[in-house]
Every structure is written in C-alpha cells, then in structure tokens.
C-alpha cells in the first residue's frame, strides 16, 4: 500500500500538534532547576580469526585473515532542558574505504543519533510515552537489541542482512500501555537510514507493537509478543516493505526469542520484485555469577524465485563482570559459521573471535 504525500504530511502535523499541546500544558507549570547533561560511552572491540574463506597476501601466500578491531565507539551525550524536553547526541565510528580519500583505512566519526525528545507521559496519562524529532532510534532494531544483549558480538538478524536501519531521520511517537501490558512505537522516516541522504520524495512509515499477555504472573511475565511493519518506496510505485512477527522471553536465568521476516523490494520499474523470507531463533542461558552462553540460528531465503538459502550458526560463552550500577562490561569467546547453498555462489564463512563490551 502506497501512502500519499498528503497523508504523510497529515501524520507529521498531527505528531507536531501532540507535542505542541503537551508543551503548552507544561508551560503552565513553573520550571525550576537548571539544564543537566551527562556523557557516556559504548565500546565494542574484538580479535577475529577467519578460518574460511582464506585470502592471498602480497607475497602470493594463502593466509587466514585475522585482526584486532574496534567495531563501535559511541560517545553518548544526553541531557534534560526541562521536565519535558531531553536530547541525545551520539557520534559513531566507521571505517573509511574510499580509495580517493586521504582517510582511506582510518576509523572516522559519523553522526548516529541527534534528536530532541518530548515527554508526553502527563499529557497522555501513561508513563514512558514520548515523541522524538531528528536522527533517532528506529522502532525495531533498538528495541530488539534491548532484549538480545549480544549486539557487541555482532548485528541481529535483520540488521546483519541489511533489511532495516538501526536509526533514521524522522518524527516518531511512543506509548506505553497501562499496567505494563506492552507498548507501541510509530514513526515517519526518510527510510534510507542514518548513513544515507534522502534519495526521493517517499517516506517510510514504521510501526512496532509489543504485548505482554500476563505482566503480573510470575514465570510468564517476561513473555512478549511482537509485530512490526515498514512500508516505503524506492521510487513512486516500486515498494520496499517489511513484516516481522515474533516473541521474546526474559527472566533471571534465560533470555530467548525468535521472529519471522518477510521483505519485498522492487528497486526500479524495470526490475522484478524480490521477495525474501527468513527467521532467527536464539537463547541466552544465564547464571547468577555472570557466566552466560549464547546460541543462535538464522535462516534466510534472499529470493523466493531462487532455491538457495543462507544459514548462520552462532555459539559462544561470555562473562559479565561485576560493575557499578549503570555500567556493563563483558568478554565473550564465540564461533560463527555461515553457509551458502550452491545457487547463492558465496563462499562459506567460519570465524573465531574474542569480543569485549564496555558501556556506561
């Protein structure tokens, strides 16, 4: 379904109006105190040994590529300008690969998040309700990573396969259901992600809804049913569409989850539509003393007109160090095996790695 531009504009106007009404209500109150801000950081580092595929060095010898690396280095600047208004600015690193750049091969900073957040809890009568404007977290990946705690080992399924961006430029709103029954996050975005400029006049409409069936029942209160939908277009009539349905479970001794992905893409009027389908399942057994395990299986059929599938298996053991409140530090030894069926022609991948996490 293609949403006309006027409907998108209406959605934006309604969102801005909701923020304005909340701001008007907040303006009736006496504002006391001073602005505040804090600085934090997130660092992912690793040593990775590639068993397959091998490569050839400058001497013509066959070698197994291996390297120390930093895959993420966030500097998080967050703060409050009033009871209602807060902000976040986060630069991220990226490996410069342009052969014409003097920074070729260097890790350079780029902007990952820069948004204003307006607290709508009082206006909507529900804690945890807000609106965001700017370069911000998109509805699915940030939510998914909050439950799947091993982003420092590698991207989640849809992120790894490039079907969704973790942040984008747009306007979004979030509402939490009473009594912890779940939440909904909906937004209008450029649709091309934080690392691309807007390429057309189309906008992405994204919505994620999560339901806790029994938030007050011990043993099952950690269960959530999740659904996500993204509709966009590469150009006027060529769609980019994603559906996700799944479930997650969280407890003191086990986090687990899985979801099914359905993605449709038609990049130009002359090209055929590509229909991809896949799923992921994972489990994270936990102990009271910081020792944990991760097992994950991904299965993707990139094109339903081609028989080939891509299958990923991840397994690892991690230790989460005792830290001060609000700080996370972990180290993980893991193995990844990616297999491509013959029709996909890609070489299989096998790698061992040690990953570390620092977050505060």
pLDDT confidence of residue 49: 98
The tokens for 79 are 């703060």
Residue indicated by tokens 């306007």 = 171
Interior/surface letters 143-159, b for 16+ CB within 10 angstroms, e for the rest: bbbebbbbbbbbebbbb
pLDDT confidence of residue 126: 81
pLDDT confidence of residue 64: 96
Helix (H) or strand (E) holding 46: strand 36-52
Helix (H) or strand (E) holding 264: strand 254-265
**Helix, strand, coil % in the chain, rounded to nearest 5:** 10, 55, 35
Tell me, what CATH number does 58's domain have? 2.40.160.10
* Number of separate domains in the chain: 1
pLDDT confidence of residue 172: 97
Paired with 254 in beta bridges are: 285
pLDDT confidence of residue 261: 98
Q: Which of 164, 159, 151 is nearest to 72 (CA)?
A: 151
pTM listed for this prediction = 0.87
Q: What is the pLDDT along the chain (360 residues), one digit of tens a residue?
A: 455 555 655 555 555 555 555 555 555 555 567 889 999 999 999 999 999 999 999 999 999 999 999 999 999 999 999 989 999 999 998 887 776 777 777 888 899 999 999 999 888 888 889 999 999 999 999 999 999 999 999 999 999 999 999 999 999 999 999 999 999 999 999 999 998 888 888 999 999 999 999 999 998 999 999 999 999 999 888 899 999 999 999 999 999 999 999 999 998 888 889 999 999 999 999 999 999 999 999 999 999 988 899 999 999 999 999 999 999 999 999 999 999 998 888 999 999 999 999 999
* Cα separation, 355 vs 69, whole angstroms: 10
pLDDT confidence of residue 354: 98
Which residues, including other chains, have CB under 8 Å from residue 105's CB and lie 6 or more apart? 95, 96, 97
DSSP 220: T
Domain span at residue 86 reads 5-359
pLDDT confidence of residue 237: 83
pLDDT confidence of residue 307: 87
pLDDT confidence of residue 130: 96
Backbone dihedral angles phi then psi of residue 177, each to the nearest 5 degrees = -70, 150
Phi/psi zone of residue 134: left (φ > 0), alpha (ψ -120 to 50 degrees), beta? left
């Amino acid at each position: 379904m293609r949403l006309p531009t006027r409907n998108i504009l209406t959605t934006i106007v309604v969102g801005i109006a909701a923020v304005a009404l909340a701001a008007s209500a907040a303006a009736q109150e006496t504002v006391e105190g001073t602005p505040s801000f804090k600085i934090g950081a997130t660092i992912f580092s690793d040593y990775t040994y590639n068993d397959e595929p091998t490569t050839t060095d400058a001497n013509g010898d066959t070698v197994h590529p291996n390297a120390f690396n930093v895959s993420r280095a966030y500097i998080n600047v967050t703060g409050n300008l009033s009871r209602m208004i807060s902000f976040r600015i986060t630069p991220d690193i990226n490996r410069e690969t342009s052969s014409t750049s003097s920074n070729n091969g260097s890790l350079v900073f780029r902007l990952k998040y820069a948004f204003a957040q307006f607290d709508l809890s009082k206006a909507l009568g529900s804690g945890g309700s807000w609106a965001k404007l700017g370069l911000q977290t998109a509805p699915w990946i940030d939510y998914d990573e909050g439950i799947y705690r091993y982003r420092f080992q590698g991207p989640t399924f849809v992120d790894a396969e490039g079907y969704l961006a973790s942040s984008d430029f747009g306007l979004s709103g979030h509402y939490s259901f009473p009594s912890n029954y779940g939440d909904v996050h909906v937004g209008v975005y450029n649709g091309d992600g934080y690392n691309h400029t807007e390429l057309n006049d189309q906008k992405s409409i994204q919505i994620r809804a999560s339901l806790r069936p029994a938030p007050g029942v011990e043993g099952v209160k950690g269960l959530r049913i999740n659904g996500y939908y993204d509709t966009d277009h590469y150009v006027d009539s060529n769609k980019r569409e994603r559906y996700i349905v799944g479930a997650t479970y969280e407890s003191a001794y086990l986090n687990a989850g899985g979801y099914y992905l359905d993605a449709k893409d038609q990049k130009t009027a002359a090209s055929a539509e590509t229909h991809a389908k896949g799923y992921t399942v994972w489990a994270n057994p936990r102990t009271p003393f910081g020792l944990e395990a991760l097992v994950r299986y991904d299965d993707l059929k990139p094109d339903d007109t081609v028989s080939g599938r891509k299958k990923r298996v991840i397994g690892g053991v991690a230790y989460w160090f005792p830290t001060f409140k609000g700080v996370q530090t972990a180290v993980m030894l893991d193995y990844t095996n990616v297999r491509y069926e013959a029709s996909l022609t890609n070489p299989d991948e096998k790698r061992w790695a040690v990953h570390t996490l620092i977050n505060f």
